[in-house]
Chains A and B, each alone.
Chain A
Amino acid sequence: MSLATALFEAVADPSRPWTFAFIGITFGAYLLIGWRSRVRETRGFYVAGQGVPAIANGAATAADWMSAASFIGMAGLISVKGSDGAMYLMGWTGGYVLLALLLAPYLRKFGQYTVPDFVGTRYASSSARIVAACCAIFVSLTYVAGQMKGVGVVFSRFLEVPLEIGVVIGMFIVAFFAVLGGMKGITWTQVMQYFVLIVAFLIPAFAIARILTDGAHSVPQSAFLFSDLAERLNQIQIDLGFDEYTQPFTSDTRLNVFCITAALMFGTAGLPHVIVRFYTVPSVRAARWSAFWALLFIAILYTAAPAVGMFARYNLLNSLHEAKIVETEVVDASGDDGGRTLYRLESPKGEALDWAYNWQATGLLSFEDLDETGTISLAKTSAEATIDKDIIVLSTPEVAGLPAWVIALVAAGGLAAALSTAAGLLLVISSSMAHDLYVQFVDPGASEEKKVMVGRLMIVLAICVAGWFGINPPGFVAETVAFAFGLAAASFFPAILLGIFDARTNRQGAVSGMVVGIAFTAFYILGNQWDTIFSVTRDAEFVRPWYMTRWFFEISPQGIGTVGMLLNFLVTVTVSRLTPPPPAEVRQLVEDIRVAG
């Protein structure tokens, strides 16, 4: 279907003109900001001329950090995991404490352009710089593919534009402001994108809190804490044969929840696209304060998300369990699979459930009346409803009966979240390739104009690769994103931390620590996930010799980064003590970055 027919059909759906309007207005604003922040020199291109005020950098960091997954997926994930969903909430916020106290101010004092800059200079080693640059590219590339796919999904779901066209439109928008303005353009669009996404998240959150508590609580965080919804949800869960919602360790063991939370926290602190944001502020003091603003802005969404997750689960179970089937219709009957059956439902209280009908068209929600009782059962033992976790946030406005423009706002918010994160990641890829690899090793004498030109070229290249991955996601992408945190925790975090806090750590220690940490973690992940990463079955002949179960204390592959990190620390410290101390200029550098003045 072309864009023109999509526009034509927009008349049929009341929310679609609003969606076009909101996406048009926000995209226009991003383009305008990008045009106004164009830059000519490398300092502007890579670190926004180090002129971003602390509070603006906080908002930009928050948008940079909160991806399509945080906006669309997280509340749904928590709603499925219940109490254990806290591992994502703490994991993706707790890392900022480490970042603010242990890394950001000192890296800002060091004050060059990239994370590999620091690793290369601190350990006086080109190979360490190359390894760090390659790690940064690998982590960012897997991460960015998910963002581009998120852009495509929002377009296809809300505008019924094909996924490919959605991805291409997203690529052009990001390319425009990132190529022209580099970090400066990205920063100021991210500030705007933060406001779009937070408003888009909070309006439905406030509305559903108000509706479910009959107007007693408007603020989701207070409805979460003070209303009796948790008690009622626990009761429903027990009636349907599930564990209580507030019961911990239902999805994994205590040790695994511990290790996964820790790996997410230490990994967050080691992710290059977050760290580079702190290079853009004017001073060390501003780096500390912008870490505070960043986490404050993030916390607004992260404390509302568990409330939304719980409310949505309550609402879903309450309205769909024992829902009466009013009518069924078969669509695509001529297709190979014999078509799908769409159900028109009525809640047990007799209200028509239009949203449940609409969402079946996307394939994210489906029903099947297996026992032919004329009602849908959501009990644990029955399998009459399949609910994708992604619809939790996206369907909240419809479920809560909010006006059409709110639904459109959620679409614009999802796009803001995906585009802002994609832009930050693309800059890391571009700076690693242009600044750390090309200028450093291929053409050290490049002029200022040439350096910026190479940077722009690399962004274009990175956007094309990311777009291609977004349209044709390789099977391993979804898997790898989940493990990127563990790998970042096991490689970058100890090297940077000891580089600042332990002057005795030398090149031999850091390199062997990184190699051991990342090798152990990657080996363990591969051994456990060989089949899903390479899309083969577990019985495949060539897999069997490689396949290993959770041999290390039953720790899950998502949590193993914590062990890899401890191993890295141990190896780095030991090897450093057994080899000569670092040269005097490196010790001077460490002394220098520790104190602001």
Chain B
Amino acid sequence: METEPKKSDEARAAFWSANKRLISILLIIWLLISLGCGVWWVDWLNQFTIGSLPLGFWIAQQGSIYTFVILILVYAICTDRLERKYGVAE
């Protein structure tokens, strides 16, 4: 199913805009979870509980870090796919 790499200027431009869209989505999630839920809204989130901890506290000290790992994993997988789709892999 591998398409012949064309590496044309259009393919490169199309890859770049798809890549920028992917990065934007992931970074918005990054911002909302870390500086949003982990800092700015942490006391409001603390009214809910997860396990035996206040939710905001858990996100700030654990959940945010798990989210970061998943975000990078999703980025690595999706970019591999995008590169194949547009035929711009190395």
Question: A245's closest neighbor in chain B, by CB?
Answer: B57
Indicate whether A306 reaches chain B with its CB closer than 8 angstroms. Answer: yes
Indicate whether A291 reaches chain B with its CB closer than 8 angstroms. Answer: yes
Tell me whether B65 and A90 are in contact (CB under 8 A). Answer: yes
Interchain CA distance A569-B76 in the complex, whole Å: 27
Interface residues of A in 219-240 (CB under 8 A from B): 221, 224-228, 230-231
Indicate whether A258 reaches chain B with its CB closer than 8 angstroms. Answer: yes
Interchain CA distance A547-B34 in the complex, whole Å: 34
Interchain CA distance A78-B62 in the complex, whole Å: 13
Tell me whether A224 and B34 are in contact (CB under 8 A). Answer: no
Interchain CA distance A283-B89 in the complex, whole Å: 10
Across the interface, A97 reaches (CB within 8 A) one of B26, B58, B60, namely B26
Interface residues of B in 20-54 (CB under 8 A from A): 20, 23, 26-27, 30, 34-35, 38-40, 42-43, 46, 50-54
Query: Which residues from chain A contact B39 at a C-beta distance below 8 Å?
Result: 86-87, 90, 254, 257-258, 261
Query: Which residues from chain A contact B7 at a C-beta distance below 8 Å?
Result: 597
Indicate whether A548 reaches chain B with its CB closer than 8 angstroms. Answer: no
Q: CB-CB contacts of A555-597 with B at 8 A, as 1s and 0s?
A: 0000000000000000000000000000000000001001111
Interchain CA distance A306-B51 in the complex, whole Å: 16
* B interface residues, tally (CB under 8 Å): 47
Query: Which residues from chain A contact B12 at a C-beta distance below 8 Å?
Result: 591, 594-595
Tell me whether B64 and A288 are in contact (CB under 8 A). Answer: no
Query: Which residues from chain B contact A288 at a C-beta distance below 8 Å?
Result: 72, 75-76, 79-80
Across the interface, B52 reaches (CB within 8 A) one of A228, A249, A285, namely A228
Tell me whether B73 and A90 are in contact (CB under 8 A). Answer: no
The B contact surface, by secondary structure, is: helix
**Which of A14-22, A292-300, A459-467, A512-520 sits within the interface?**
A292-300
Query: Which residues from chain A contact B56 at a C-beta distance below 8 Å?
Result: 248
Tell me whether B68 and A96 are in contact (CB under 8 A). Answer: yes
Query: Which residues from chain A contact B89 at a C-beta distance below 8 Å?
Result: 285, 596-597
Interchain CA distance A226-B53 in the complex, whole Å: 8
Tell me whether B23 and A285 are in contact (CB under 8 A). Answer: no
Interchain CA distance A102-B53 in the complex, whole Å: 34
11 more contacts with CB within 8 A, not counting A94-B68, A97-B30, are A83-B42, A85-B61, A90-B60, A93-B64, A97-B68, A105-B79, A224-B53, A285-B89, A292-B73, A299-B68, A596-B89
* Interfacial residues, chain B to chain A (CB-CB below 8 A): 5, 7, 12, 15-16, 19-20, 23, 26-27, 30, 34-35, 38-40, 42-43, 46, 50-54, 56-58, 60-62, 64-66, 68-69, 71-73, 75-76, 79-80, 83, 87-90
A selection of 19 A-B contacts at a CB cut-off of 8 Å is A83-B42, A86-B39, A86-B61, A90-B60, A96-B68, A97-B27, A101-B23, A101-B71, A225-B62, A226-B52, A228-B52, A230-B57, A248-B46, A248-B60, A257-B39, A292-B73, A299-B66, A303-B66, A306-B61
